[in-house]
């Protein structure tokens, strides 16, 4: 939508969904009829310099990453951390900071890095941390 400044409507109503929906607080994003007006359909992936990579092996599903992610980009379903939504993640790194496991279950790496390689070279448990 490439409109000039003087072509916008003075006041506007945007509809988030294409059709009538029930109680949205009980319907997860994958089952919602988003319209193109919802920013859910947009992406900010090009904002990132680094991305968080998730390693399921160490995760205890504490959900700290879920609650503190500003960008609704930690996907949790049925009390389990499922992964990162890379369309909406801005790469802030909060999820990594709040992850309590040792080693961490999330790690920031350069955007272009291969996920499999990162997982294969995951850091070991930090012994010093454990000993206090």
Which chain residues interact with ligand SF4 by CB under 6 A?
52, 59-65, 69, 71, 73-74, 81, 84, 89-95, 98-99, 101, 105-106
Asked if 68 and 74 count as a contact pair (C-beta separation under 8 A), the reply is: no
Cβ-based burial of 71 (10 A; exposed 0-12, middle 13-18, buried ≥19)? middle
Can you give the binding site for other proteins, defined by CB under 8 A? 1, 8, 12, 14, 16-17, 23-29, 32, 36-44, 47, 61-64, 66-73, 76-79, 85, 87-94, 96-98, 108
CB of 33 to other proteins, least distance (A): 11
Q: Which does 87 bind (CB under 5 to 8 A by kind): ligand SF4, other proteins, none?
A: other proteins
Cβ closest to ligand SF4, residue 34 vs residue 62: 62
Half-sphere exposure of 5 (CA within 13 A, CB side): 0
SS3 assignment for 64-75: HHHHHCCCCCEE
In degrees rounded to 5, what are phi and psi of residue 117?
A: -65, -40
Q: Which does 126 bind (CB under 5 to 8 A by kind): ligand SF4, other proteins, none?
A: none
Cβ-based burial of 12 (10 A; exposed 0-12, middle 13-18, buried ≥19)? exposed
Cβ closest to other proteins, residue 2 vs residue 127: 2
In degrees rounded to 5, what are phi and psi of residue 124?
A: -80, 170
Cβ closest to ligand SF4, residue 18 vs residue 125: 125
CB of 89 to ligand SF4, least distance (A): 3
């Amino acid at each position: 939508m490439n409109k000039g400044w003087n072509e916008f409507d003075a006041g506007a109503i945007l509809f988030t969904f294409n059709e009538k929906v029930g109680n949205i607080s009980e319907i997860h994003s994958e089952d919602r009829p988003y319209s193109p007006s919802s920013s859910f359909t947009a992406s900010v992936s090009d904002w990132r310099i680094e991305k968080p990579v998730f390693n399921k092996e160490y995760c205890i599903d504490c959900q700290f990453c879920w609650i503190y992610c500003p960008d609704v980009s930690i996907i949790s379903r049925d009390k389990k951390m499922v992964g990162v939504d890379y369309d909406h993640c801005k790469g802030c790194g909060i999820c990594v900071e709040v992850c309590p496991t040792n080693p961490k279950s999330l790690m920031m790496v350069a955007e272009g890095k291969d996920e499999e390689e990162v997982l294969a070279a995951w850091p070991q448990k930090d012994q010093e941390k454990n000993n206090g």
